[in-house]
Amino acid sequence: MESDWDFYFCELNGRPASILLDLAYGETGPVAGLNECLIMRLTLREVREDGLPTRAENERLAELEDALEQAWEAGADDVCHVGRVTTNGWRDFFFYCREPQAFYEKLTEALARFSDYQPEFGLEDDPEWQIYFGLLYPSDREWQMISSERLLRYLEESGDQPEIERDVVHWVAFDSEEARTGFVQKVSRLGFQTRSVPEDETDMPFAVEVSRRQAADRNSIHETVFLLYDLSQEFGGKYDGWETSVERGDAA
């Protein structure tokens, strides 16, 4: 199975958290026979005020995870590394295992040269993968962050200059004409141009295209996406993503 690793930020127990996970298991999990979730916690050595690791700590953790990767790749048929959570001064790794004791021994062996970290281990019987789908897997709102980040990375790789203003287009769908009209009236007051999309035969046939001229830096994009996402929810709609042009500042 091809992996699909990505990350997003959220809050856990009132504290900022970073969650990295293999999204591919959202389609293929649970994996038959991998019923035990082995959780390994590392206490971080250097953290910022928000409880997330410093840059120096991240560099050290990257070395450690390279060593761990060899351990879980060696037992690929019996282990799924599904994700990790970093928050409040610690990092948890999550593995679904067929033989957790054997994999525990591989992990401790891989960590032998990282004596400055003292791992703690826990084991949960989780045949339905409730930890993966309940803790790690993103909500619909968090999916918007992941999708936006993927598009932002594409723009960056294409040489985009995010400070240049351009039209950013969004799509939202509703299950009634009344809901769409209410949404359009509200976003029009916020400076968005709107264009209704022809009705289709889906569960939400009343779509609208929304656009506004703005910069495409991360803060601006995420702020706009979450604004429209929350407003679409207010009217019972579904936010369905955005697109924009690549702006390199080329001379005409």
Whether the CB-CB separation of 68 and 110 falls below 8 Å is answered with yes
What confidence tier does 252 reach under pLDDT thresholds 50, 70, 90? very low
What confidence tier does 249 reach under pLDDT thresholds 50, 70, 90? confident
Give the lowest-confidence range in 46-50, 182-186, 194-198, 241-245. 194-198
Nearest to 54 by CA among 64, 67, 45, 62: 45
What confidence tier does 199 reach under pLDDT thresholds 50, 70, 90? confident
pLDDT in tens, 179-190: 999 999 999 999
Cα separation, 200 vs 205, in Å, equals 5
Partners of 166 in the β-ladder: 214
For each of the domains in the chain, give its residue range(s) and CATH number, in order of start.
5-136 (3.30.70), 140-244 (3.30.70.970)
DSSP 138: P
Average pLDDT over the chain, rounded to an integer: 93
pLDDT in tens, 14-72: 999 999 999 999 999 999 999 999 999 999 999 999 999 999 999 999 999 988 887 77
More confident of the two residues 78 and 233? 233
| Secondary structure percentages of the chain, helix, strand, coil, to 5 | 35, 30, 35
Average pLDDT value for residue range 131-153: 96
The predicted pLDDT at position 186 comes to 97
The predicted pLDDT at position 74 comes to 64
pTM of the predicted protein model: 0.88
The predicted pLDDT at position 76 comes to 64
Query: Is residue 160 predicted with pLDDT exceeding 90?
Result: yes
What confidence tier does 250 reach under pLDDT thresholds 50, 70, 90? confident
Nearest to 5 by CA among 65, 54, 78: 65
Average pLDDT value for residue range 117-146: 96
